[in-house]
Structure 1
């Protein structure tokens, strides 16, 4: 149970950031930097506004007690906003609920979330550990402009993103390209909050990478229809992603948890993602395996154990089938 409860305010104005600083008894500087009150912990939170419709908030804190950060749903008023959240320290900052749904994601790899303003969510933060997070707030007008400039060349995806009335939530494990961009963005903002043009260009890279992932994982025919079970399939996908490091529940159990029959679940999942549930699950699991070995320097045996394989040989066989080479080859490539 978290000892602190902190409401995450929207980033659409300096006034909201001032309100957020007051709510945590932090000291706010004219440079939009909040210094954490010593009674709560140490560190700071910085906000930058590279251009209209785009704001970035960086968290670099250590808190004295377990803390729950929560954001209320903001009723849609014609112009939908979005939050893109990057968890840099996933061991100590976990997404716990989205709307009324409890999440069970326990990733060791960095994770990103795209959530509409009209979606409530909260994160749980561990005490006495470094917490590093970057969250972006973008207006639908800013996002639309990127599509119109063809920085995000996915017009059908834009229509689905903005015009659906349903809660909008996507999550993904960060790729190597995204991690490098996040690292660069973090270093720039942490030391200097005035380099707006550089911050904007890095944010555009992150947003483009996220939408490219969304585009690639959904076949074109899925955009043409407004799948009546789209949101339920997204909920089911979150369950799959939450079990990458443990045994997957049966398809019957997953289908039941999102109020679908197993046959409907299978049919609509393949229509949206273009592959079977187990194909998708293994693809994500093997992508995570590669990332754990590259970025966390885990051995092949440790990675297999982390992902729930009792026999390392089974893990090696599936990894090789997915990537085209054995995990041992990957480790040799990484070794200088």
Structure 2
């Protein structure tokens, strides 16, 4: 049994409905999915996550960080992932303080809302419950899963002494864990403060040349930023021009396709006309050739007829002359 801490603070017990409304009012939500119900808080680092019956992000935090203790905001009970059970026992539910507030009913079903659990002497726990936005889990970062509602708590009345001893043991365990975490984060704060101080000292020890160089680099960065903005504006204009050129190009392509179709049609018609003209020329040439041959033949026939006529006429004259000569000779003979 651990000794009770010297400095204690009694937290005000509230109903489940009041606790839920306070959680919504303070704006707590799961670090990963943003859920505002079934929230659990890691007692080591203050991370807020949803329970395993939602998305189980609180348990993910345990697997990633190894922080084994988690506080359920609705019931204010502590779950230990190593043993897989709540660290407080059913004895606490029968303590006089709970009977005075009318919360002696045990949790009997995993699905029902567990009863609120009052912390009697935990200053750290009180600050976490009463002012959740002031702690490190204000914005809900990293994962954590919060356990099941299983296990049946005993209804049997326990002695006030035993309940007090169990409460003191639990308070001591919780106080020890919180002190360890406080020391850890205080060490982290000291380390970061020392690092920041060293950086400030380094800044003070910079020479004038280094300061001038830093100023020049800042000026260059500003100039490059302005140039980048100008280039971005030019790029937008170029994109707009490209869009216009692309539209014109598409229009010209369509006109070219239409012109190509017309040209092909004209070429086809011209080829047909050429073929028809060639055929007609060939027919005319053939007719001319036939007419020429016919004309020549007629001329030849005409010439042959003239020759025949000339020959016939010449033969007749010769016969007439021969007859007249023979007649003259006969007359002369007769005269003699």
Q: TM-score range by the shorter chain?
A: under 0.3
Q: Which has the larger share of strand?
A: 1
- More RCO (CA 8 Å, sep 6+): 2
**Structure 1 length-normalised TM:** 0.20
**Structure 2 length-normalised TM:** 0.20
Q: Which has the larger share of helix?
A: 2
Higher Cα Rg, which structure: 2
